[in-house]
Amino acid sequence: MRRTIDWAGGAIVVIDQTALPGEYRLLELRTVGELVDAVKRLAVRGAPALGAAGALGVALSARLNGDVRKDAEVIAHARPTAVNLAWGVERALGKLGQGADAVLAEALALLDEDELLNKAASKHAAEIVLAACPRRPLRLLSHCNAGRLATVGWGSALGVVWHLHERGLVEEVLVDETRPLLQGARLTAWELAQEKVPYRVQPDGAAAAAMARGMVDCVLVGADRIAANGDVANKIGTYGLAIAARHHEIPFVVVAPSSTVDSKLADGTGIAIEERDARELTGYAGVPITPPDAQVFNPAFDVTPFELVTAVVTEHGRFRP
Could you tell me whether strands 283-284 and 287-288 are parallel, antiparallel, or unpaired per DSSP bridges?
Answer: antiparallel
Number of neighbours of residue 285 by Cβ within 10 angstroms:
5
Q: Does 224 bind ligand MRU (CB under 6 A)?
A: yes
Instruction: Closer to ligand MRU by CB, 58 or 157: give it.
Output: 157
- Please, which of residues 81-110 interact with ligand MRU by CB under 6 A? 82
Binding of ligand MRU by 188 (CB under 6 A): no
Residue 259 is a binding residue for ligand MRU (CB under 6 A)? no
Nearest to 123 by CA among 263, 317, 261: 317
CA-to-CA dists, residue 313 to 220, 230, 310, angstroms:
11, 10, 10
Sequence letter at residue 26: L
| The one segment of 28-36, 40-48, 62-70, 309-317 that binds ligand MRU by CB under 6 A | 40-48
Choice from 4, 142, 183, 188 touching ligand MRU (CB under 6 A):
183
Query: Residue 139 or 225: which CB sits closer to ligand MRU?
Result: 225
Q: Judged by CB under 6 A, which of 91, 163, 179, 235 binds ligand MRU?
A: 235
The catalytic position among 71, 204, 224, 262 is 224
Told to check if 222 binds ligand MRU by CB under 6 A, we report yes
Closest approach of ligand MRU to the CB of residue 150, in Å: 3
Q: State the residue number with the nearest CB to ligand MRU.
A: 222
Q: Is 71 a catalytic residue?
A: no
Spell out the SS3 assignment of the chain: CCCCEEEECCEEEEECCCCCCCCCCEEEECCHHHHHHHHHCCCCCCHHHHHHHHHHHHHHHHHCCCCHHHHHHHHHCCCCCCHHHHHHHHHHHCCHHHCHHHHHHHHHHHHHHHHHHHHHHHHHHHHHHHHHCCCCCEEEEECCCCCHHHCCCCCCHHHHHHHHHHCCCEEEEEEECCCCCCHHHHHHHHHHHHCCCCEEEECHHHHHHHHHCCCCCEEEECCCEEECCCCEEEECCHHHHHHHHHHCCCCEEEECCHHHEECCCCCHHHCCCCECCCHHHHEECCEECCCCCCCCCCECEEEECHHHCCEEEECCEECCC
Least spacing, CB of residue 254 vs ligand MRU, in Å:
9
Between 122 and 161, how does the x/- string for binding to ligand MRU read (CB under 6 A)? ----------------------x-x---xx----x-----
Query: Is the Cβ of residue 32 or residue 144 nearer to ligand MRU in the bound state?
Result: 144
Is residue 202 close enough to count as binding ligand MRU by CB under 6 A? no
Please select the residue that binds ligand MRU; options are 35, 46, 88, 126, rule is CB under 6 A.
Answer: 46
Q: Which stretch binds ligand MRU (CB under 6 A): 39-47, 241-249, 265-273, 280-288?
A: 39-47
- Of 82 and 160, which CB lies nearer to ligand MRU in the complex structure? 82
CB of 271 to ligand MRU, least distance (A): 12
Residues labelled as active-site residues: 224
Q: Tell me which residues touch ligand MRU (CB under 6 A).
A: 42, 45-48, 82, 144, 146, 150-151, 156, 183, 222-224, 234-235, 300
